[in-house]
Chains A and B, each alone.
Chain A
Amino acid sequence: GENVGLHLPTLSVQEGDNSIINCAYSNSASDYFIWYKQESGKGPQFIIDIRSNMDKRQGQRVTVLLNKTVKHLSLQIAATQPGDSAVYFCAHQGGKLIFGQGTELSVKP
């Protein structure tokens, strides 16, 4: 079956540094991936998405990289700020949305 998972459950970074959150998937037929941010007490919030015909997509301070060869997805956050502290989920959409396990990002001032 499909599996969308994250390598690390927690990540702590210094304010101003760059953050990299990783995600691995097992289904080579996966064709659309999304990153969500979930702050405490809130629902998941869409950050950025990428389709399988792309390797990289950039947003404001965020970049998603897709390596289809090793079935790996990453989210890069530039100049991490305290407001970036949250749980980040990667998800695959194929008929329904399947979430990975999540990485909790903590930003140290």
Chain B
Amino acid sequence: DTEVTQTPKHLVMGMTNKKSLKCEQHMGHRAMYWYKQKAKKPPELMFVYSYEKLSINESVPSRFSPECPNSSLLNLHLHALQPEDSALYLCASSQDSMGQGAYNEQFFGPGTRLTVL
């Protein structure tokens, strides 16, 4: 299984809602990532988990809360989002985290298209 799956595919939520995005991989990868991608723009890194511990938080607002329950699962909890948070949220995984000198191919999921009303 060389696939990263994400659910839901689409999500529409109001600014007062609480929702969660889910990501799963069964490749035995120990690093998992959340990216945000706006239309016609490149993905922007949000969070990195390495061995189930948060290793990088790219100054993401606290209304986004990541969680890594185990080595195969990654969640992104959403609360009190703003319309400008509407984007494609991509999950990725790699064999290991990307330290200097390490070259680990990242496998991306199809993303969750989020719309905040």
Say whether B100 contacts A95, CB under 8 Å: yes
Which of A32, A46, A94, A102 is B106 in contact with, Cβ under 8 Å? A46
B contact residues, range: 20 to 34
Q: A43-B90, A43-B109, A49-B103 in contact; A99/B43 too (CB < 8 A)?
A: yes
Which of A43, A93, A95, A100 is B108 in contact with, Cβ under 8 Å? A43
State in angstroms the CA–CA spacing of A89 and B98 once bound together: 19
Chain B residues positioned under 8 Å from A100 (CB to CB): 42
State in angstroms the CA–CA spacing of A93 and B104 once bound together: 9
Q: A89-B42, A97-B45, A101-B42 in contact; A43/B110 too (CB < 8 A)?
A: yes
Chain A residues positioned under 8 Å from B105 (CB to CB): 34, 46, 49
B111 within 8 A of A: yes
Partner-A contacts on B (CB < 8 A): 4, 33, 40-45, 48, 56, 90, 92, 98-100, 103-111
